[in-house]
A and B are shown apart, each in its own frame.
Chain A
Amino acid sequence: MKPIFMTYTRNDIINLAILLIVGVVVIPMTVSSGYWYTSILIPWLCLALATIGQQIIMGYTGQLALGAAGFMAAGAFACFNLILRVPGIPFVGALIISGLIAAAFGILFGLPSLRVRGIYLMVATLASQFFIIWMIDKFGWFKNYDSSGIITAQDIVIMGKPFTSPIEMYLVIVAVVTPMTLLAMNMARGSTGRNWMSVRDMDIAAESMGVSLLKTKLQAFAISSFYCGVAGALFAFTYLKSLEPVAFDIKLSFKVLFMVILGGLGTINGAFIGAGFILLFPVLLNYIGNNVFHGAIDATIISAIEQVVFGVLMIIFMIYEPLGMARLWETTKVKISHLFTKNK
């Protein structure tokens, strides 16, 4: 596997160009059914962005945080309130400010990380999860005093043009996720990322080398929750199309955690692989249940099986490939390329 701080090669740039062309030109031109956008591509990209956030704090900085959904909720409701209360605010501006608000929560709840690690930190971040959801739930202001508990998200309007169809929303998400992913990759391979990784590998040694733990950890928490906040806002505005605190409960946090671990700790492409897998696997199971067994298996049993499979995979990956699917992908690529070079 390529060291993470290597400079980009020509191949990398070609790969990026191909991916961009596929994402922006090929997919919108070939895929016309709304189902693909609303049920697969949109949630995949939103959750992948949140997973990058979790990846930064867990995979790169090694802080076992478990509150991604809380920060996503903070971002989603911040975005809702900004658009509601600030007249004429551009959508992207609202998105950035909601990310910053989530980042402020991240710094606040990241403070315990200066003293504790491992499961102790996990408990401290659970506090953020429960507190943020409770706060949104209990203070009517956040929900604009809506009694039903479920608020419809406003339409996305950029430069006076509403983006409401699945393809348009997909393009908005691509336009947000692409630069943020590139930024994350650059941070990870630059000095910022090296500081994170030195803290992950041995914080005391990092400190004695002159890496400020205070700055590095809080920075990682802030950036991580910024990503989660933006992802949460996008998730609510494009996928859920409504805002309810329940959608951001602890189960979503665990889901994001699974995406990070199965995808591969400390890799950005792992975030996309992991999010894709966790999202697509239930779709596949439901498909099998409906078409192979013709609905003979109860939907609750299918979701239970899905849970068992995720758990078993988690254990298997921990035992055999702690670096997750991203690493598997890298090794298969190397093996395949060896096959070709031998034949020549």
Chain B
Amino acid sequence: MADQILFFIEVVVGGLLAGTMYSLVALGFVLIFKASATFNFSQGAMVFFAVLAFVGFMQDFNVPFVLAFFLAVGLMVIVGLCTERLVLRPLMNQSEDTLLMATIGLGYVLEGLAQAMWGVEVRRLDLGIKDFPIPWIADNLKLFISAIDLTAGAVAFGMIIGLSLLFKYTKMGLGLRAVADDAGAASSIGIPLKHIMLLVWSAAGVVALVAGMMWGARAGVQFALVDLALKALPVLIIGGFSSIPGAIIGGLLIGATEKVLEVYIGPFFGGAIEGWAPYVLAIFFLLYRPEGLFGEKIIRRV
């Protein structure tokens, strides 16, 4: 009995930690949605693009770890700059569906560019953290928790706190919130819309890079990351598109639920229900709370 409880806790904790990875992807999405009311479908492609560039710098050009990280960050800023210039500015004041489809196109561009530059083979990424249980926890609490999962959880948590503080207490954050509320009014009182957009897309790029590093260290840097990142969408539906804490809680909820369902109910259906369970969960959420747990209620005019 005690073993079963321990096993259950292990499953839940494993799921929660895997969920933080979804949260990391969702976080980049929320950042952009908050500032520009754009559903950025290319966030998954950004994850892939950023981490592939990072690994590419390290492995193909023998750039040291830290320098490669900053090069990748610089690259993501350039991507943000180009996106703002070439995609967002011409599409200003268009409907959200148009913007959404443009970001699907952007995602295709990023995926294609990444593969053209760095190739399609799976690359290993070694962060120096091992994907096996931490001995201390395994010995004392009898729980098997992977070190890399725990690191990812800690990193995600750190980024969330950092970003929340940024939004709340800096002048920049105030500007961001003003733009999110009403872009026209904000720019009329002198908030530089362009800079804010660039900032937000760069921040989302950095978040994507970190998320990609975590995913990549675990499963290898490969195209499948894009599909995995799609799971950030149900996370967002549960948490709400405009809430940073929502992204976290949604991620944790999805991560834990999909693991529990997979382990306890999956065997009855031949397994691998992880692939669709989050989406079905999201549908049920949609039926009861279309705006998500922390989202703002959507009011539309005729």
Among A120-128, A180-188, A227-235, the stretch that binds chain B is A120-128
**In the complex, A124 Cα to B236 Cα: how many Å?**
12
**In the complex, A113 Cα to B97 Cα: how many Å?**
15
Q: Which residues of A contact B106 (CB under 8 A)?
A: 311, 315
Residue A304 CB within 8 A of the other chain: yes
A118 engages B96 (CB within 8 Å) = yes
A315 engages B113 (CB within 8 Å) = no
State which of B41, B234, B270, B302 has its C-beta within 8 Å of the C-beta of A138.
B270
Interface readout for A131-168 with B: 1 if CB under 8 Å, 0 if not? Answer: 10010011100000000000000000000000000000
Residue B64 CB within 8 A of the other chain: no
Q: Name B's interface SS.
A: helix
A134 engages B112 (CB within 8 Å) = no
B233 engages A126 (CB within 8 Å) = yes
Closest to A127 in B: B279
Residue B86 CB within 8 A of the other chain: yes
- Tell me which residues from 245 to 296 in chain B have a Cβ below 8 Å from any Cβ of chain A: 269-273, 275-276, 279-280, 282-283, 286-287, 290
B115 engages A307 (CB within 8 Å) = yes
Interface readout for B17-56 with A: 1 if CB under 8 Å, 0 if not? Answer: 0000000000000000000000101000000000000000
Interface readout for A246-284 with B: 1 if CB under 8 Å, 0 if not? Answer: 000010001001000100000000000000000000000
A124 engages B279 (CB within 8 Å) = yes
B287 engages A115 (CB within 8 Å) = yes
Residue B149 CB within 8 A of the other chain: no
Closest to B266 in A: A138
A298 to chain B, nearest CB (A): 8
B282 engages A123 (CB within 8 Å) = yes
Residue A310 CB within 8 A of the other chain: yes
**In the complex, A300 Cα to B118 Cα: how many Å?**
11
Residue B196 CB within 8 A of the other chain: no
A118 engages B300 (CB within 8 Å) = no
**A to B contact number (C-beta, < 8 Å):** 131
**In the complex, A138 Cα to B277 Cα: how many Å?**
14
B105 engages A134 (CB within 8 Å) = no
Residue A328 CB within 8 A of the other chain: no
A314 engages B39 (CB within 8 Å) = no
A119 to chain B, nearest CB (A): 4
A118 engages B91 (CB within 8 Å) = no
Q: Which residues of A contact B271 (CB under 8 A)?
A: 138
Closest to A204 in B: B302
B108 engages A307 (CB within 8 Å) = yes
Residue B135 CB within 8 A of the other chain: no
User: Which 10 A-B pairs rank lowest in CB-CB distance, beginning with the nearest?
Assistant: A314-B105, A311-B108, A307-B112, A127-B279, A311-B109, A308-B112, A130-B276, A304-B116, A138-B270, A304-B115
27 A–B contacts, CB within 8 A, in A order: A112-B283, A115-B287, A115-B290, A119-B41, A120-B237, A120-B286, A126-B230, A126-B233, A127-B279, A138-B270, A139-B270, A202-B302, A204-B302, A250-B227, A250-B230, A301-B116, A304-B115, A307-B112, A307-B115, A309-B112, A311-B105, A311-B112, A314-B105, A315-B102, A315-B105, A318-B91, A318-B94
